[in-house]
Structure 1
Amino acid sequence: MAPKHAPGSRRTRAAIAVSTAAALAVGGAIFAAQAEAASTNLLTNPSFGTGSLSGWTCDAGTASVVTSPVYTGDTYALAGAANNTDDAQCTQTVSVQPNTSYTLSGEVEGNYVYLGIAGGASTWTPAASSWTSLSTTFTTTASQTSVTVFTHGWYAQGTYYADNLALTGPAGAGSSPSASPTTASPSPSASPSKSASPSASPSKSASPSASASPTSTGTTGTGSSGLPKHVLAGYWQDFSNGAKALTLAQVPQGYNLVDVAFADADSANDGGVTFSIDSGLSSALGGYTAAQFTSDVATLHSRGQKVVLSVGGQNGTISISSSTAATNFANSVYALMKQYGFDGVDIDLENGVNATYTAQALQDLHNLVGSSLIITLAPQTIDVYTTGGDYFQLALDIKSILTITYTQYYNSGSMNGCDGNVYSESTENFMTALACTELENGLSPSQVGLGLPASTSAAGSGYVAPSLVDNALDCLAAGTNCGSFVPPSKWPGIGGAMTWSINWDASNGYAFLDTVGAHLASMS
């Protein structure tokens, strides 16, 4: 505002008019400057005009700067070479103001291209054959002073391109919004290793590295598991059965949670479990040692993935049927967690479960580990289609420490849904109507996930196309893409999906990861 004139000052009308005009001009200039400041692009090197990745931190070996294709009027653009194990993410951390609205926008080209804020708002396009605009708005929290912007593609979807990126809004304390950089001669640099900034993406876990599952707006279940809102889990086979043999480090980063299958019963310790690398797998991989496996667990951790030890399986003989067995179970699992670096345990006892003592064992383990412990359950449909089942009772007994339950919607046959009707497996109704039972009877949405086989070879029955799993997730979360069964409620916090197994998914070209994983990443 222009300063007030002192009262009683003598001026001619012309002088007043000239002064007024000048004042308005000054005021307008100030207002324009304030508006410009409010909408300044806070990103450094937003159009890669330096001819380099300056200002950006990208997954190693995946990013470069190219001269074609580029957005209209620009000279350079980002190229992210997504592959089977990396989504080619690039991030930049920016200072912002608390309780303030911002807009993130950009131009992208390619399949499954994402743009967003780590742990917050995001947007994406499944297929952009030419430059396509993406934009999302968000408001910072009362104490937030920085955000991490990300862009990335998706596994095995090929190279994506990004250009003309912008984060507009008031600059935070200590930041100096940059103007668009001057053009330099092309010198695409090798992308630097990723810094310890939160990973992003609509389905990335909030971790220092490349993708796991991007929208980490909160953890599933309770505690501090570090998992994203919608989790993609998969079993890694510690044995050879015709599926592609993989080292643990070869598991794609899109799997947020990896269940190592399986631990064995300790015949000398009632309720106790043991774990070692299966000789058949070691042979198939040309030698795979316990030391290498332990190193691989650490590698997955560096990518933001979590690894839990699964106990049981179809042929498992582990039994927890007494207080002593519960104590032995907890102590033995805790020892294995410390030895190999596991983040928790998966209960896959397919030959009966004692809810009372298994709950005791898991509570004892939680007391040993703390709130970071991940506990997952993998019941068969027969175990949870009514609340009277022991597995359902176990889930309710440990609800305060349970991370997620992945019911196996396969090898089942027909089963009753929450409406009392009978549904056949291999259908969307089967998944949604049975999940509804768990959702309506005590488990939180974040504790309910869908378990499906990765291919027709992975299970005797129950395989469905991954796109149908996406529809079931949409139906449960938003009431869209439903079959004839329409759930009585919407559960936007639905926990995610699991597949048996990552190895079978690898044998099938990672169809489950590419379809269901990408879809979970896009869910808000």
Structure 2
Amino acid sequence: MSSKTQILIFLLSLFTFSSIIDPSLGSTGGIAIYWGQNNGDGSLTETCDSNKYEIVLLAFLVQFGGGREVKWNFAGHCGDWNPCTQLEPEIKHCQAKGVKVLLSLGGAPSDPPKYGLSSAQDAKNVAKYLNDNFLSGQYGPLGSVTLDGIDFDIEVTDLYWDDLARELDIFRQSRYFYLSAAPQCPTEPYIYYLQKAIQTGLFDYIFIQFYNNGQCEYSTSAGTSLLLQSWDKWASLVKSNNSIFLGLPANVTAAGTGYIAPETVISDVLPHIKQTPNYGGVMLWDRYRDKEADFSGKILPYVSKSNVLLQTVTAVWEGLFEGVSAALHSIKASQ
């Protein structure tokens, strides 16, 4: 076999390996936090400077769609329904630190509902509003910001959210931003409200709420069994490119049911769910409660996946490049 043939084989193996193995694998695992529903959250700057969070979700855009006037509510951080431009430097500070900042749509339902989509055209209109006001860098309700994405925390109706995801996906063809969904944990008889949207496969992150749902959350009687069964079901349902997060209340008062002590999360939950190929980390509700309990600080050292795979991939890559270098040297010497 000639030296030229050998180098071609090596280059082919390099290409094949790179198409199968993603060198970023093994570094997965961060914490996402909802911010904005209590003045006790502290500022966004303080939140991001804690160095605990990979993603901060601004909660919430509470009114939109169906011809409604668009309104947001950040619980007194900057005036509930007034332009909140004072957040612009704080958002940019977080982004400069590598923290992704997303705007969350929806939240807890009201009677009558304040948000919802009436048609596919309505979804298109809302997508354009979100892109123009929060994702494009143009001046909008939060100042001249380019947020890192949009979160669907939808708890009313299942109509047209898939259309909204597709319309937003069109806008991110020119500048990529993230889409996330925060469904509740039951998967049967259907995924509440967001099934059709999640089935599009367009969501980068899925923050599954394992609380306030007795059939799939932790309890003193069932322990972690129902939660882990539900997690495994979710892992089999979603697309492999969707990172799934374990959504938990940050302290015992953050939700009605489903609180798990950090020690139990560390010993009984994380070792199981971190084996899931598309495990993404832990989502917490919310910053105010987390600030009180330091749930994130207690679990943070255990959230990331082991870097053994990353080290293995790096070593193989180095071996391949050394092989290519040796083959090139051999060809040069034979000439």
TM-score with structure 2 setting the length: 0.71
Query: In structure 2, what residue type is equivalent to 1:265?
Result: Q
Query: In structure 2, what residue type is equivalent to 1:523?
Result: S
- In the TM superposition, 1:437-476 aligns within 5 A as 437-444=233-240, 446-470=242-266, 471-476=268-273
1:260 and 2:63 aligned: no
Kindly name which structure, 1 or 2, has the bigger radius of gyration based on alpha carbons: 1
User: Residue 518 of structure 1 is aligned with which of 271, 277, 301?
Assistant: 301
User: Residue 375 of structure 1 is aligned with which of 165, 172, 179?
Assistant: 179
Query: In structure 1, what residue type is equivalent to 2:51?
Result: Q
- In the TM superposition, 1:73-472 aligns within 5 A as 218=24, 229-240=28-39, 244-251=40-47, 252-266=50-64, 269=67, 273-275=70-72, 277-278=74-75, 280-282=76-78, 290-315=84-109, 317-337=114-134, 338=136, 339=140, 340-354=145-159, 357-370=160-173, 372-382=176-186, 384-386=187-189, 390-397=193-200, 399=201, 401-415=202-216, 425=219, 427-444=223-240, 446-470=242-266, 471-472=268-269
Are residues 522 and 296 of structure 1, via their aligned partners in 2, closer, same or farther at CA, if it must alter by over 3 Å?
Answer: same
Q: Which has the higher helix share?
A: 2
Contact 1:386 1:437 in 2 (8 A): no
Query: In structure 1, what residue type is equivalent to 2:296?
Result: L
1:456, 1:425 → 2: CA distance?
12
Contact 2:105 2:150 in 1 (8 A): yes
2:242, 2:270 → 1: CA distance?
12
Q: Which digits, 9 at most, give the CA deviation of each residue in 1:414-456, with x for residues without a partner?
A: 34xxxxxxx7546322321111111122432752211000001
Query: In structure 2, what residue type is equivalent to 1:319?
Result: G
User: Residue 496 of structure 1 is aligned with which of 277, 281, 288?
Assistant: 281
Contact 2:36 2:60 in 1 (8 A): yes
1:219, 1:247 → 2: CA distance?
33
Query: In structure 1, what residue type is equivalent to 2:29?
Result: H
1:351, 1:298 → 2: CA distance?
32
Q: Aligned-pair distance for 1:469?
A: 2.5
Query: In structure 2, what residue type is equivalent to 1:330?
Result: A
1:461, 1:443 → 2: CA distance?
28
Q: Aligned-pair distance for 1:457?
A: 1.6
Q: Secondary structure at the match of 1:341?
A: coil
Q: Aligned-pair distance for 1:496?
A: 1.1
Q: Which digits, 9 at most, give the CA deviation of each residue in 1:280-302, with x for residues without a partner?
A: 3348xxxx982320110000001
Contact 2:65 2:122 in 1 (8 A): no
Q: Aligned-pair distance for 1:522?
A: 5.3
Are residues 411 and 217 of structure 1, via their aligned partners in 2, closer, same or farther at CA, if it must alter by over 3 Å?
Answer: farther
2:242, 2:262 → 1: CA distance?
21
Q: Aligned-pair distance for 1:329?
A: 1.6
1:499, 1:477 → 2: CA distance?
17
* Identity percentage of aligned residues: 22
Q: Aligned-pair distance for 1:248?
A: 1.0
Contact 1:300 1:306 in 2 (8 A): yes
Are residues 320 and 266 of structure 1, via their aligned partners in 2, closer, same or farther at CA, if it must alter by over 3 Å?
Answer: closer
- The aligned counterpart of 1:166 is none
Relative contact order (C-alpha < 8 Å, sep 6+): which is higher?
A: 2
Query: In structure 1, what residue type is equivalent to 2:45?
Result: A
- The aligned counterpart of 1:29 is none
Are residues 387 and 441 of structure 1, via their aligned partners in 2, closer, same or farther at CA, if it must alter by over 3 Å?
Answer: farther
2:64, 2:192 → 1: CA distance?
27
Contact 1:385 1:437 in 2 (8 A): no
Unaligned runs of 5+ in 2: 1-13, 16-21, 308-335
Are residues 461 and 407 of structure 1, via their aligned partners in 2, closer, same or farther at CA, if it must alter by over 3 Å?
Answer: same
Contact 2:65 2:123 in 1 (8 A): no
Q: Secondary structure at the match of 2:121?
A: helix
Q: Secondary structure at the match of 1:406?
A: strand
Q: Aligned-pair distance for 1:405?
A: 0.9
Query: In structure 2, what residue type is equivalent to 1:449?
Result: F
1:344, 1:219 → 2: CA distance?
22
Q: Aligned-pair distance for 1:390?
A: 4.6
Contact 2:31 2:54 in 1 (8 A): yes
